[in-house]
Each structure stands twice: as C-alpha cells, then as structure tokens.
Chain A
C-alpha cells in the first residue's frame, strides 16, 4: 500500500500529505484541489513522465476525468494545466484523485 511516507520528494510529500489530512477531515473539494496542485508539480518537475506519456499514454498520465480534467493541449505545450469544470466534488471522487496522485508519485519513485 503506497503511503505518503513513501514519497521521497519532500515538497511533494508535503502537498500530498496535506491532501491526506483534508481527506481525513472529510473535505472532498479541498482534497481534489490539493491533489491537482500536487499532481501538476509532479508533472512539472518530472518532464520525462509527460514526454513518455505523449508518445504512448502511460498510467501516470491517466489522471481521472471527473470534473478536474488534465488538458492534453497544455501537456503538449509543456505547461501542464488542470481545468476545473465543477466547483464541488464528492468524497468518492476525492478518494479517486487522492489515490491516483499518491500512487503516481510512489510508482515513479519520486
């Protein structure tokens, strides 16, 4: 089971740790926003993930499309962006985004 403590990058660990605390507090919309911030940092600081993903889509780029959507155009332009199409998110959506972000960081050894 990947945990926040498995993340090596201290900045990213702090961001995802913040998302985890928000999740434990039952604040789903804040969780999604915190995960989006963390995930964009992950992509910005690890351009190889984007580069490889644009050649053949990899799991690390399969950010869930549940209303906070990763812009493919922004990836191609080298400036990853997440577009919020909704203002509120449910708990199950927040958990999905949180688990994806956490696993992406840990699986990529970041």
Chain B
C-alpha cells in the first residue's frame, strides 16, 4: 500500500474579524510546499490537491496546477496528483486542461496523476453556470476527449454535446504515454463502480473503513475485468481513500494537535455541499470558523450536524449512530478520530487493516482547520520514519496481487501503483 497527502488549503477566518490577516493565504501556500517537500524526502508516494472555487475557508485551492508546478521543482519522487481537475467545460476548456497536464508532466519529469471530477457545490456550479443535471455527462465527454488530445497527433477535433473544437495539435504532450493515470473523485460507491467500468482510478472521498474497502476492491477489480469500457487510452486500476491524519508521540498529544481540524473540515464541507445551506452562502460575508466555534463541543466533533440537509434523515442520525446515506456518513466520519490520529503504533495497526484489504493508496488529510504547521510537519516526520518504510518493504506483495487481478486484460495499463 502506498501513501499520500491531500490538500484543500483550508483557511479558517480569525474569529474576531470578517476577513483573513494579510499574510494568511501566503502562509498556508508556503506551508504546503514545505510539508510536501518533507514528505517527499521521507518517501511519501503522492500528493493530491483539489480544485475548488469560491469555497472560502473550506478550500483556497483554486489553482492546483500552480501549486503542483511549484512542487515539481521542490520534490524529486512524489507523484503530483490533481485531486481533481474540474472537467465540465464551463470550469475549464478541455484543451486548456490537456495543455496544463502535458506541461506539468514535462515539468515534473512524468509524475502527474490526472484526477477528474465535477464538484457538486452550488457555489461552484452556479458560479460557472454549469448545469447540475448534466455535469456527469459533461465529465464523461470531456475526459474521453482530453485523453485523446494528450495522445493523438494531431487531435482530430470534436463536435460533441457540450463542446466543439476543430482539429488541432494540443501541445505539449505528456511524457507518460499515452497519458498520465486517470482518476475520478468518488464520494459514493456508485462512482467507484463508474471508475471500474471505465478503467480509471477511484479517489474515494467517503472515509471508508477497511472492511468497506475490501468489498469495494473486490467489486472494482471484478468489474474492471468483466465489464470495462475504457474512457482513456490506458487503464489506471487503482483505489485510494482519504483519512484524517495526525501522528504524535502519544495518542493524547495526537488528539490535542489534531484540534478542530477534522471537525471544521467536515463542518465547512457540509456547509457548502448541503443543499439547504450551500446555495445560501453569502460570499465574503460569512465566518464559518466563528459559527463552528460557537457550537457545543459534542456538535463540533460531529461536524456540527452540517450533513443534516443532505437527506433530512441526518438530524435523526446524528450522535453515535452512523448516518445511513453515504455522503452524510463520509462527513460524519471525517469529523471523528478515525484510524490515522494517534501514535505511530496506533496508525500502523490501523493501516495494516487497509493493507490486508488490498487498498492501493491511503491519502492523509493533514492540513485541516486550525491545525498548526509545526504539528503537521512533525506528524509527517514521525510517520515517514517509523511507519512508512515497512509498508514500502511489503509493497511488492501487493504488486503481485494486483498483477493477478489484472491478468488477461488486453488493454494497456499506465498506473503508478
């Protein structure tokens, strides 16, 4: 099993102010570069960075291609993952995305992971006038065509339902042939099954348990073998999941340093994605951190009940019972301790369970809420020195298991697992 870091670039507002301090955004951007540089030196395999727009406090990562370009010059081995690029043409013209991916792959000497997706927050869809009901069809059309743009010389052009362009040679082409590994953001099981049937990696945002991972891995590889209609020019068989992460010398210290990171992550995510609150967000006039901090402790640790509007059932499901709906459940789990907040031993035992279930990549959410940069750096350092090496030693076993799963597939594979 491999390991990565995941970045939203969260930036809570100061509680007593309507805006950030002048240096705050600069600080988190440079902190991320420092954290990834350290992680790269210690052998972390991936960084995945989101693309989000207008989701103030929750995510200030609107230009991940710039961050990853900077990281290409400060890291040597780490794979540089878009987690994800927004694919509907209203956000990014497909040719522009293909050009950026090609350029980043050249800059990084072939280290790009090309995550794709749509987002479902009204702030983003509405902000770019992307029609919600069509976003999945847009995703499919553009990803298929972008893969061709990166691999065809010239690209023959396209007259589609959602975008049209004449024949052009889209340059530069990526180093990786036919194109970098493709992923899709999966916050529901259904989308993981889409990934399997389209031959691409599933970047799971549902904070799945090891047992759920085991079930998904089995389904995924079965569908990949039996029912796959590849969307790209090469397969990327891979499953990744997220987990809140803070490693420290003692469990108590890890929980203390984790602070309100998971709670605010879940609260602010819920705020923007909840159909009851997301569309009503007042741009530039809210202070989510202040609202979150005013909640009683038990509500903060549950993400503030922000998942309430997703299905209505949520309010009844709040408390210790896991919500029935998968997206709500993911938020509920994101707010809690989970298996990656603790000592090196605690996290090692937890990760072994995922490894036993043949998970390909565990992606840690370290930067969240009000967590301190110094604590995140030490967390990466402890894990990288005390836990990561043994998983690297065992990865060859996983590769052999994967090779068995992929036996007989005739389509080309380009995967970094």
Contacts and interface: CB of A to CB of B under 8 A. Distances in A.
Interface string A57-95: 111001011110100000000000000010011111101
B141 to A, nearest CB: 7
A23 interface: yes
A62 B277 CA distance: 18
Contacts of B352: none
Contacts of A90: 136-137, 140-141
A89 B138 CA distance: 11
Contacts of A66: 133-134, 136-137
Interface residues of A, number: 26
B189 A103 contact: yes
A93 B137 contact: yes
B226 to A, nearest CB: 8
A85 B132 CA distance: 13
Interface residues of B, number: 30
B32 to A, nearest CB: 31
B146 to A, nearest CB: 15
Contacts of A96: 136, 190-191, 194
Given A1-B218, A85-B133, A90-B140, A95 B194 contact: yes
Most buried by B among A58, A88, A90: A90
A66 B191 CA distance: 13
Interface in B160-206: 161, 189-191, 193-194, 197-198
Contacts of B189: 99, 103
B190 A99 contact: yes
A62 B190 contact: no
B193 A99 contact: yes
Given A62-B325, A99-B193, A57 B136 contact: no
B284 interface: no
A102 B301 CA distance: 34
A66 B132 CA distance: 8
B229 interface: yes
A67 B161 CA distance: 14
A92 B313 contact: no
Given A95-B197, A96-B191, A67 B312 contact: no
B313 A57 contact: yes
A34 to B, nearest CB: 16
Contacts of A64: 190
B197 A91 contact: yes
Given A1-B219, A1-B222, A23 B137 contact: no
B311 interface: yes
Most buried by A among B141, B193, B222, B325: B193
A59 B194 contact: no
Given A24-B227, A95-B193, A67 B325 contact: no
A47 interface: no
Nearest to A107: B324
B133 A56 contact: no
A23 B139 CA distance: 19
A78 to B, nearest CB: 20
B403 interface: no
Interface string B313-336: 101100000001110000000000
A24 to B, nearest CB: 6
A59 B326 contact: yes
Interface in B293-348: 311-313, 315-316, 324-326
Contacts of B137: 66-67, 89-90, 92-93
A95 B193 CA distance: 7
B215 interface: yes
12 contacts: A56-B311, A56-B312, A56-B316, A59-B324, A90-B137, A92-B137, A92-B139, A93-B137, A95-B193, A99-B189, A99-B190, A99-B193
Interface of A: 1, 23-24, 26, 56-59, 62, 64-67, 69, 85, 88-93, 95-96, 99-100, 103
Closest 9 CB pairs of A and B: A1-B219, A57-B312, A99-B190, A90-B137, A57-B311, A90-B140, A92-B140, A56-B313, A59-B325
